[in-house]
Structure 1
Amino acid sequence: MPAAPLLLAALACLAPAGAATADANASDQWPRFRGPDGTAVAEGAFPDTFDAKALSWSAPLLGTGSSSPAVWGDAVFVTSADGPRRLLYRIDAATGDLAWMKDVQVNPDGPPATPGLHARNDPASATPTVDATRVFTLFSDGERMVLNAYTHSGEELWRRDLGPFVGQHGHGTSPIRVDLPEDDLPEAESARELLVLTNDQDGAGGVLALDATTGETVWTTERASEKVAYATPTVLRRPGKPLTLVTASGSAGIMALDAATGAELWRTGEMPARVVASPVIAGGKAWALCGAGGAGKLLVGANLETGAVEVEHTRSLPYVPTPAAANGLLFLWGDRGVVTVLDAENGEALWTERVGGNYSGSPIVVGDAVVCVTMDGVVTALDAARKYRLRGTSPLGADTQATPAVAGGRAFFRLEDRLICLPLEPTAAL
């Protein structure tokens, strides 16, 4: 869509950049979809409302995409699709200046195929994942699903073709980077740095872990699959227990895996509809949703130790947006603008309110605010509290389906044709 006059001037500096700050503080990182470990929680004081004058910069992007930004130190990485081109950008977090843009190789013999996609999907829907020295992208054109690894300077390290992708609505899950604790390694030669991807297609499914350094397979956990699932794994860390990956799909429901080996720890069992939202950890439970037709059909909350389902809800549920959790609460932000908040410990519904708008991106928690963006680019902020309070709305001037990212005292919003930055005031972490 054409740029709205609401937004600020575009980037101009094209100087090359080296690696992003390798020792960036945790608050300077948003390394994957929904941030560190998939928690979607960040520091900062989010404004009730803001306008174009509050923005630091606006950086144009070729084509379009619904992937979210990933941030490490001074570098923001985002993907886009421009006709047959699949693009990866590195943009300076402080200035919006372009460091570099890469054409990502999906098909070495020519342009990518044209995938079949849902009307609300696009070829750049997978959020990149990043660590201190590398950035990883995932693209699928239906005929192939390809992972690429680059340095922060833009040099390609490896490319892994994972074969065809079969799904009625196209691809949509995102890879994540996971470091295994030394005590969790099953053998001395095992890879410690993993790149993990769920791969639930029509008629086949599973979870795949690659060596992040080489792209070689470390382990594969297969599971039956009838419909594509779009949930990105959440990482569960508990003192004295192995690092755990929590995944969700229609065939397995919520499923917990040992991150080092891929061994199944437990599963809740089949969900009655398609899984799009990612699992969330809150109140000593793993939560996941399924739905259809723009509405959630079932929410389950499972015991983290056994996988036993302890809570079920069937009303006022999201389908696409992943819930956010903070302050012992679970925020269910519906596709059609209805928000429900649960007590995460017992599953009791505390309030349900219609805030308006249509949503495809997921809510995040910034300080004491819960923030989500409508598909026509209006930022809505609520109190992250047991009582409902609408803090305000702020139009961004362009459509978006992406979830915001927050790192280094800045909020990044990926719009249909640009990336914009909003500086935040500092505040204590939740």
Structure 2
Amino acid sequence: MTKRIVFPLIFAFTLLLASCEQPAGNWTHFRGSNSDGHAGVEVAPLHWSNSENIVWKVPVKGLGWSSPVVYGKQVWLTSAEKDGHEFYTFCFDLETGKLLDEKTIFTADDPQRIHGTNSYATPTPCIEKGRVYVHYGNFGTACINTNNFEVLWKREDMPCKHMQGPASSLLLHNDKLIVHLEGTEDPYVAGLDKNTGETIWKSVRPKEIYDPLEPVYRKSYQTPIVIEVNGKELLICNSAYMCFAHDVNTGEVIWTFTYGYDSTVSQPLYYNGLVYVNSGWIFLDNTPFFTRQFAIDPTGTGDVTETHQKWMYEDEVPQIPTPVIVDGLMYMVHDRGMATCLDARTGEVIWKEKLKGNFNSSPIYAAGNIYFINVKGECTILKPGDTFQKVAENDIDETVKAVPVFVGDKMILRSDKFLYLIQ
């Protein structure tokens, strides 16, 4: 056998081993294992209520809007005492809902205030084989061994004046844990060593730009993503006032895009060579007015505001829910319920349709359909396409702000009181 034959065989075997280590049933981050709102399942539930098609239903102590994460047969979730004095982690058995571990991971004597619609446990954890990483913004970040439930490391020394409470979720990339802490003073993003929790790099937003801003306009609650552009891995952060693209390995700022607004929540997207970022609220006379969605060519350097914008859309763009892109079409739902389908390449409107209720949860694409769940727990399931096609409607009759999680042929849904496995 020649070397030309041996090398491909070794490479194929390596890929096979890697695929065995990453089962398709895992859900490792906010909005899925690829942070793109795609579930990657072939079958998903279409009909349920809070008593029908329920495999198990377990109460969850405290209050939290974080989404579950799943690895193997474990479901991990964070929560907190409603007044922010105690912060919890929970591990449940995926098949039975049995509580396997519960911890009070952090405490706070005098917690910061939060917005009335937020919780002290809104950031979603991330998970990999053997470890789960939990985050509560200013109140602490920790790593837990998922085999024996021992705490491997903690950080309680990363300050942030959130003003409205923590919301940015964690991002795990290779050996780094990305922590986003953009408050009203010295907003920053940091890359931590996932094994020790030590800071590898920290990038504070430029003082010459941010210091002249009123503190209220410096805060951000978004969750970044990592993309690859021309062989370089970029961390995309649609922060308050401007979007930053960092070298994810060093924290160096590669390019910036200025939109001038604050309180960004909706996560960036990357599709077919373009980055999609949300501006956050535009304030006119101190009143939240509207939000803009930008499409950006990510290949530039420096200030790309005038050179790399491909399109901008501003009619009922969501401030909290993150859109999802399926087959070149972007589907978004405004916080007050207007669903819009755009051509992701051009920003052209394909259709618009009003859904029932208000929305915080982001839509998820699973088994050929898109799931939109409103704050009251009513779910509208749509078939993606260039016309509005409703597949089903369901109602769990509880408050839902977390993103639904799809593993195997089932859905995990977190409400304000319970965690459900739905079939």
Q: Same fold (TM over 0.5)?
A: yes
Matches of residues 369-384 of structure 1 in structure 2 within 5 Å? 369-384=369-384
CA RMSD in angstroms, aligned pairs only:
1.9
1:203 to 185, 190, 206: 185
Structure-2 residue corresponding to 1:158: 153
Specify the code of the residue in structure 2 equivalent to 1:252.
Answer: M
1:249 to 230, 239, 243: 239
Structure-2 residue corresponding to 1:222: 204
Higher deviation after alignment, 380-389 or 65-74: 380-389
C-alpha distance in 2 between matches for 1:269 and 1:219: 23
Specify the code of the residue in structure 2 equivalent to 1:28.
Answer: G
Specify the code of the residue in structure 1 equivalent to 2:240.
Answer: G
Structure-2 residue corresponding to 1:33: 30
Structure number with bigger Rg: 2
Query: Which digits, 9 at most, give the CA deviation of each residue in 1:287-345, with x for residues without a partner?
Result: 11122677742111101212511110111211111111111111111111101111111
Query: Which digits, 9 at most, give the CA deviation of each residue in 1:88-126, with x for residues without a partner?
Result: 0011112111111111124xxxx4423211111011111
1:284 to 267, 273, 277: 273
C-alpha distance in 1 between matches for 2:289 and 2:25: 34
What is the identity percentage for the equivalent residue pairs of Structure 1 and Structure 2? 24
C-alpha distance in 1 between matches for 2:102 and 2:403: 21
Q: Which TM-score applies when normalising by structure 1? A: 0.84
Q: Which has the higher contact order (CA 8 A, sep 6+)?
A: 1
Specify the code of the residue in structure 1 equivalent to 2:294.
Answer: V
Q: Residue 38 of structure 1 aligns to a residue in which SS?
A: coil
> 1:326 and 1:39, CA in 2 relative to 1: closer, same or farther beyond 3 A?
same
C-alpha distance in 1 between matches for 2:228 and 2:412: 27
Structure 1 segments, 4+ long, off by >6 Å, are none
Deviation at 1:229, TM superposition (A): 0.5
Structure-1 residue corresponding to 2:292: 298
Specify the code of the residue in structure 2 equivalent to 1:134.
Answer: R
C-alpha distance in 2 between matches for 1:311 and 1:237: 21
Does the 8 A contact of 2:163 with 2:183 survive in 1? no
C-alpha distance in 1 between matches for 2:180 and 2:218: 13
1:212 to 194, 211, 222: 194
Does the 8 A contact of 1:380 with 1:393 survive in 2? yes
Higher deviation after alignment, 393-402 or 223-232: 223-232
Does the 8 A contact of 2:376 with 2:400 survive in 1? yes
Does the 8 A contact of 1:49 with 1:391 survive in 2? no
Structure-1 residue corresponding to 2:7: none
Q: Residue 101 of structure 1 aligns to a residue in which SS?
A: strand
* Consecutive unaligned residues in structure 1, runs of 5 or more: 1-21, 180-192, 424-430
Equivalenced residue count is 380
Q: Which TM-score applies when normalising by structure 2? A: 0.85
Structure-1 residue corresponding to 2:402: 402
Could you say which structure has the higher helix fraction?
A: 2
Structure-1 residue corresponding to 2:14: none
Structure-2 residue corresponding to 1:170: 165
Specify the code of the residue in structure 2 equivalent to 1:150.
Answer: I
Does the 8 A contact of 1:33 with 1:128 survive in 2? yes
C-alpha distance in 1 between matches for 2:198 and 2:81: 29
Q: Residue 232 of structure 2 aligns to a residue in which SS?
A: coil
Structure-1 residue corresponding to 2:114: 117
Structure-1 residue corresponding to 2:10: none
Q: Residue 165 of structure 1 aligns to a residue in which SS?
A: coil
Deviation at 1:161, TM superposition (A): 1.7
* Consecutive unaligned residues in structure 2, runs of 5 or more: 1-18, 211-216
Specify the code of the residue in structure 2 equivalent to 1:275.
Answer: T
